């Protein structure tokens, strides 16, 4: 496994691999990331992983400074998962003096996380476009955990004719349903005990959908009702939207993305389930 810090090194190393998967991450890796790495390795024969806590996707009051980092541990985990290339650039390598470009994906970036975190998706789209250009992967792997991000990246790659196949993989969860996230380390014991309520709430909506409920507002209300039993939560949004356009639905047709964001103390958690379509 080669650990590379510069774009020049990545370009030189890239040529050894006829097909290559890419898994972009912000590090502090967990089984959610590693499942993407193993899948990319299995499907592409070789995998590159980027570890970069991208400053442009954090708002001024967000957790950039305290975002968890442990490069030595990440590298050991990637070695075990079959990583071939690991790209760990500095912020100056990605955003050198004079950097002035930005990718804005319209429409699908407006609601949900885009509304709650202005500028977030421009930061994400720009850094992912750069990673695609630097690594030139055959396929790039993203988690359904960040459902809107996956929609935004897929839209960008299609709109801009990027020669990469975007793959979205299932959310990996703890045994109690909590979606794995690097940010889960922020949770104190009582918060950690309360956190699985989010997936229980989403699962309730899924059960209602599977029982025939198609009124989106009834599904939203059911999610809110389950979360309300846990007073530690401050709900940011509960959404039942088209999985493709992310527009809020009145009635659910074939499928819907049921998603939410909620604060638990100082930690903001997001989660979602797709109903009516494989992949949760
Ligand atoms: P992050 O390091 O949080 O930026 O995540 C890097 C990639 O891993 C993104 O594509 C995420 O959607 C994905 N990811 C994060 N958590 C999970 C999870 N629990 N299950 C599946 N994929 C995940």
d(CA 81, CA 241): 35
Q: Which residue has the tokens 């527009």?
A: 247
State if residue 123 touches ligand 1 by the CB under 6 angstroms criterion: no
Contact 169, 53 (CB under 8 A): no
Distance 143 CA to ligand 1 centre (A): 5
Give the tens place of pLDDT for each residue, 171-222. 999 999 999 999 999 999 999 999 999 999 999 999 999 999 999 999 999 9
Instruction: Sketch out the chain's domains with CATH numbers.
Output: 2-169 (3.40.50.620), 182-275 (3.30.1300.10)
Per-residue 3-state assignment (H helix, E strand, C coil) for 153-219? HHHHHHHCCCCCEEEEECCCECCCCCECCHHHHHCCHHHHHHCCHHHHHHHHHHHHHHCCCCEHHHH
- What residues contact 126, with CB distance under 8 A and at least 6 apart? 56, 101, 102, 103
Model pTM greater than 0.85? Answer: yes
Ligand 1 atom closest to the Cα of residue 179 is: 19
State if residue 25 touches ligand 1 by the CB under 6 angstroms criterion: yes
Give the tens place of pLDDT for each residue, 79-98. 999 999 999 999 999 999 99
pLDDT band of 279, cuts 50, 70, 90: low
Give the tens place of pLDDT for each residue, 146-156. 999 999 999 99
- Number of helices (H), then strands (E), in the chain: 10, 9
Distance 98 CA to ligand 1 centre (A): 30
Collapsed DSSP state (helix, strand, coil) of residue 37? helix
Contact 238, 223 (CB under 8 A): yes
d(CA 116, CA 191): 22
Q: Which residue has the tokens 């650990």?
A: 3
33 is catalytic: yes
State if residue 28 touches ligand 1 by the CB under 6 angstroms criterion: no
Distance 173 CA to ligand 1 centre (A): 11
């Amino acid at each position: 496994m080669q650990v590379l810090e510069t774009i020049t090194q990545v370009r030189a190393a890239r040529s050894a691999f006829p097909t290559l998967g890419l898994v972009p991450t912000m590090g502090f890796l967990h089984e959610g990331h590693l499942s993407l790495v193993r899948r990319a390795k299995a499907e592409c024969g070789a995998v590159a992983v980027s570890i970069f806590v991208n400053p442009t996707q954090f708002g001024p009051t967000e957790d950039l400074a305290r975002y968890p980092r442990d490069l030595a541990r990440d590298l050991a985990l990637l070695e075990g998962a079959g990583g071939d290339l690991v790209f760990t650039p500095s912020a100056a390598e990605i955003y050198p003096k004079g950097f002035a470009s930005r990718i804005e994906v319209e429409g699908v970036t407006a609601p949900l996380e885009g509304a709650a975190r202005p500028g977030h998706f421009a930061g994400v789209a720009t850094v992912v476009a750069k990673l695609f250009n630097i690594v030139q992967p055959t396929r790039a792997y993203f988690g359904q955990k960040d459902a809107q991000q996956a929609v935004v990246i897929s839209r960008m790659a299609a709109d801009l004719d990027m020669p990469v196949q975007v793959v979205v993989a299932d959310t990996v969860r703890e045994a109690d349903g909590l979606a794995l996230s690097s940010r889960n380390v922020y949770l104190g014991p009582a918060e950690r005990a309360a956190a699985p309520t989010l997936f229980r709430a989403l699962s309730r909506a899924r059960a209602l959908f599977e029982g025939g409920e198609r009124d989106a507002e009834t599904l939203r209300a059911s999610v809110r009702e389950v979360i309300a039993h846990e007073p530690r939560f401050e709900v940011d949004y509960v959404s039942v939207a088209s999985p493709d356009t992310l527009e809020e639905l009145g009635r659910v047709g074939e499928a819907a993305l049921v998603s939410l964001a909620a604060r638990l103390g100082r930690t903001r958690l997001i989660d979602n389930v797709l109903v009516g379509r494989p992949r949760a």
